[in-house]
A and B are shown apart, each in its own frame.
Chain A
């Protein structure tokens, strides 16, 4: 990073340059950067696996990868991207960086716990990559028993311990955020004045704290069954593999909301800023985050419609799953109402936000298809499901993450990225994404099963489209990574508030000083006080 004119000690990036000052830092902003670097590596690993999978699927024959290698490839893809990238992505990076800044605090409540979480996460991630790439695991990211416990001879034990570590880190982050948001807010910052990003992070943290312990113990039981023969799920002892599925999805369905809720928080910030309007229906958007978190815990059975669970349980889970669409739709409608008669500026973060709204809507609506039991039995374990959850996880969660990174990049790094390239990559990612996953809906509906390396020839056109789209999606992402890295050295210096946005994080200098604020700010107005007097929305990039 260039540090020509910034004297030592002026901001958190230039406070100290030693490696030690980074690896032992207690500053939430530096820990966010550590997380950003780590999860980017996992994104690269999981993303390259996606490309290998798409190359294999160019042809109907299983010619590039053998079937067991293919199993290992999609397990690497799923485990790394879900547990080591998506779940920590926005909370551990943007949440860590922004929560104390947005609430006017000097740091999170437990800085040492925060640093510990990064070490635990990195240990888990490294262990995971070793298990998945060097050893290989062929269970898929779901680790379903009895296959994982009784039959698979791959590195399952190491992999579940890796995920256990990542879960531990996730609990630490969630606990830290809950206490921080409860106890560290600046004077005057009441709950009804909190930015919606904070509400979303709070809801996410609640899920992390309540859900993660269950997956943690469940994964430990898999390890215990494989190593100690303590067979809680072992059918030979009278164990019930369906119990594993219940416990697994009790976490792993809410985990979807761990991925999407923080993105929704980001989108609320972006839409308000680039429409120059106060968010429409603030209370509804805030409470809808909490509603999603609560409802998210009572819908897990919709993953198990064909597992043999009771039909009545299935019906209840089906109805409850429909209910989740209400708070989700509340958000979508409120964002659109916010944009109505706003002064919309199409800067790159806003392009990501608009992309999110479109793609999340498709992902959410196809989720309703899947909540219908009759239809779910038809498309279960087909590419329809794959397409649906990629619309949520990539079209929703990752677009929100990219949008947030672009929006706060100047604040985090003190540099501006080239806007024209930002727009280009946002458009490429949107187009590439749709080319990749829209055909999968059709292939899945026509009956193409997931998790196989060969398929019948009739699906080839759709798969070639999908693979071509994946290459566009990858190019867009690589361009974004390239210009963001470039901007660290050559980007124009950013001022205090390049987007002319509202929020405490924009009121401190750029990059923020180690203690965030010279003196604790006092909040006197509601969030998003965008008004007619600042309708120009001009880029105010003066250096302080």
Chain B
């Protein structure tokens, strides 16, 4: 990379690229801390209500589709792999591979949302979305509506994060393509990677807490 290209990428507020890289990295980690607390309140609510209504949560969780949830878990974990490979390609200056891996990650993210869409529709059809039409038919379902309130709040918020991830990746593909002729700063893709792994980890917690606490998940199905 020539000196002028380096300067082009350096923000006016920074002394050198090293300072810029460190600032962006610290900034991203601080942002992830805020995200942890953002989801944290919902996890807190989950802890409170599950300890108050363990039977209802057990019964209600049985209504979730473990297979689709499991498939989505596999998809997200694989997308984290392709994202990590995209970061590595960026470090090695392989822009074509980088774009390929980002597109693959986007594909997995999209597949995740499509599966989520089918799961949500079936919950609507079975009157499991909270509100006037909510109707839980199983036993011990007095507080099942609370479980589904949490289910939709938590997976909904997570879904929004997946969607935002896709939008960021669109911008990244465009940026990588536009600057394909020159050596690129890998910080944007690395930070996107951090975000994406965070989205992945949240799901890793959501899946067992929501899907695997029911009759099927506990092996009593």
> Which residues of A are at the interface with B, using a C-beta cutoff of 8 A?
26, 100, 105-111, 171, 175-176, 178-180, 182-184, 209-214, 216-218, 221, 224, 228-232, 234, 237-240, 243, 246-247, 250, 515, 520
How many cross-chain pairs have Cβ atoms below 8 Å apart between A and B? 116
B19 & A184 in contact (Cβ 8 Å cutoff): yes
Contact residues in A for B48 (Cβ distance below 8 Å):
240, 243
7 cross-chain CB contacts under 8 A: A106-B12, A209-B30, A212-B34, A213-B37, A228-B152, A230-B149, A238-B56
Contact residue among A107, A180, A216 (Cβ-Cβ distance under 8 Å from B12): A107
A171 to B11, CA, bound (A): 22
- Interface hub of A100, A209, A213 (most chain B Cβ within 10 A): A213
A108 & B13 in contact (Cβ 8 Å cutoff): yes
A211 to B42, CA, bound (A): 14
A184 & B40 in contact (Cβ 8 Å cutoff): no
Contact residues in B for A246 (Cβ distance below 8 Å):
44
The answer to whether residues A238 and B146 also contact, given A175-B30, A175-B31, A184-B13 and a CB cut-off of 8 A, is yes
Further contacts, 11 of them, CB under 8 A, given A175-B27, A238-B142: A26-B12, A108-B13, A109-B13, A109-B27, A175-B31, A178-B30, A213-B40, A217-B42, A221-B41, A230-B149, A237-B143
A238 & B130 in contact (Cβ 8 Å cutoff): no
B131 & A228 in contact (Cβ 8 Å cutoff): yes
Contact residues in B for A210 (Cβ distance below 8 Å):
33-34, 37
Considering only residues 1-58 of chain B, those with a C-beta below 8 Å from chain A are 11-13, 15, 19, 22-23, 26-27, 30-31, 33-35, 37-42, 44-45, 48-49, 52-53, 56
A243 to B49, CA, bound (A): 10
B150 & A232 in contact (Cβ 8 Å cutoff): yes
Contact residues in A for B157 (Cβ distance below 8 Å):
217
| Residue of B whose beta carbon sits closest to that of A244 | B45
B37 & A237 in contact (Cβ 8 Å cutoff): no
| Residue of A whose beta carbon sits closest to that of B33 | A209
The answer to whether residues A111 and B11 also contact, given A230-B130, A237-B149, A247-B41 and a CB cut-off of 8 A, is yes
Considering only residues 68-125 of chain B, those with a C-beta below 8 Å from chain A are none
- B200 CB–A CB distance under 8 Å: no
The answer to whether residues A239 and B146 also contact, given A171-B34, A210-B37 and a CB cut-off of 8 A, is yes
| Residue of B whose beta carbon sits closest to that of A239 | B146
- B201 CB–A CB distance under 8 Å: no
- B164 CB–A CB distance under 8 Å: no
Contact residues in A for B152 (Cβ distance below 8 Å):
228, 230
A247 & B44 in contact (Cβ 8 Å cutoff): yes
Contact residues in A for B40 (Cβ distance below 8 Å):
213-214
Contact residues in A for B190 (Cβ distance below 8 Å):
none
Contact residue among B27, B38, B42, B142 (Cβ-Cβ distance under 8 Å from A179): B27
Contact residues in A for B34 (Cβ distance below 8 Å):
171, 175, 209-210, 212-213
| Residue of B whose beta carbon sits closest to that of A28 | B13
| Residue of A whose beta carbon sits closest to that of B44 | A247
A213 to B153, CA, bound (A): 15
Contact residues in B for A110 (Cβ distance below 8 Å):
23, 27
Q: How far is the CB of A25 from chain B (nearest CB, A)?
A: 12
Q: How far is the CB of B29 from chain A (nearest CB, A)?
A: 10
| Residue of A whose beta carbon sits closest to that of B31 | A175
B38 & A231 in contact (Cβ 8 Å cutoff): no
A214 & B26 in contact (Cβ 8 Å cutoff): no
A231 to B153, CA, bound (A): 9
Q: How far is the CB of B104 from chain A (nearest CB, A)?
A: 30
Contact residue among A179, A237, A243 (Cβ-Cβ distance under 8 Å from B26): A179
Contact residues in B for A111 (Cβ distance below 8 Å):
11-13
B23 & A184 in contact (Cβ 8 Å cutoff): yes
B131 & A229 in contact (Cβ 8 Å cutoff): yes
Q: How far is the CB of B133 from chain A (nearest CB, A)?
A: 9
The answer to whether residues A183 and B22 also contact, given A212-B34, A238-B49, A247-B44 and a CB cut-off of 8 A, is yes
| Residue of A whose beta carbon sits closest to that of B46 | A232
Contact residues in A for B142 (Cβ distance below 8 Å):
238
What are the 7 tightest A-B residue pairs by CB atom distance, in nearest-first order?
Answer: A229-B131, A107-B13, A213-B38, A238-B143, A213-B37, A183-B23, A109-B23
A231 & B149 in contact (Cβ 8 Å cutoff): yes
A178 & B26 in contact (Cβ 8 Å cutoff): yes
A218 & B41 in contact (Cβ 8 Å cutoff): yes
- B139 CB–A CB distance under 8 Å: no
A149 to B62, CA, bound (A): 29
A182 & B52 in contact (Cβ 8 Å cutoff): no
Contact residue among B13, B41, B130, B143 (Cβ-Cβ distance under 8 Å from A106): B13
Contact residues in A for B52 (Cβ distance below 8 Å):
238, 240
| Residue of A whose beta carbon sits closest to that of B35 | A213
Q: How far is the CB of B202 from chain A (nearest CB, A)?
A: 13
The answer to whether residues A230 and B27 also contact, given A243-B48, A247-B44 and a CB cut-off of 8 A, is no
Q: How far is the CB of A222 from chain B (nearest CB, A)?
A: 12
B146 & A183 in contact (Cβ 8 Å cutoff): no
The answer to whether residues A230 and B153 also contact, given A106-B13, A214-B40 and a CB cut-off of 8 A, is yes
Contact residues in B for A209 (Cβ distance below 8 Å):
30, 33-34
Contact residues in B for A175 (Cβ distance below 8 Å):
27, 30-31, 34
B13 & A231 in contact (Cβ 8 Å cutoff): no
Contact residues in B for A221 (Cβ distance below 8 Å):
41, 45, 153
Contact residues in A for B56 (Cβ distance below 8 Å):
238
B45 & A232 in contact (Cβ 8 Å cutoff): yes
A228 to B13, CA, bound (A): 44
A275 to B111, CA, bound (A): 66
| Residue of B whose beta carbon sits closest to that of A210 | B37
Contact residues in A for B130 (Cβ distance below 8 Å):
228-231, 237
Considering only residues 128-174 of chain B, those with a C-beta below 8 Å from chain A are 130-132, 142-143, 145-146, 149-150, 152-153, 157
The answer to whether residues A243 and B22 also contact, given A111-B11, A238-B52 and a CB cut-off of 8 A, is no
A184 to B26, CA, bound (A): 12
Contact residues in A for B45 (Cβ distance below 8 Å):
221, 232, 243, 247
Q: How far is the CB of A174 from chain B (nearest CB, A)?
A: 8
B26 & A182 in contact (Cβ 8 Å cutoff): yes
| Residue of A whose beta carbon sits closest to that of B143 | A238
| Residue of B whose beta carbon sits closest to that of A107 | B13
Contact residues in B for A239 (Cβ distance below 8 Å):
49, 146, 149
A210 to B37, CA, bound (A): 7
Contact residues in B for A234 (Cβ distance below 8 Å):
149
Contact residues in A for B22 (Cβ distance below 8 Å):
183
B19 & A183 in contact (Cβ 8 Å cutoff): yes
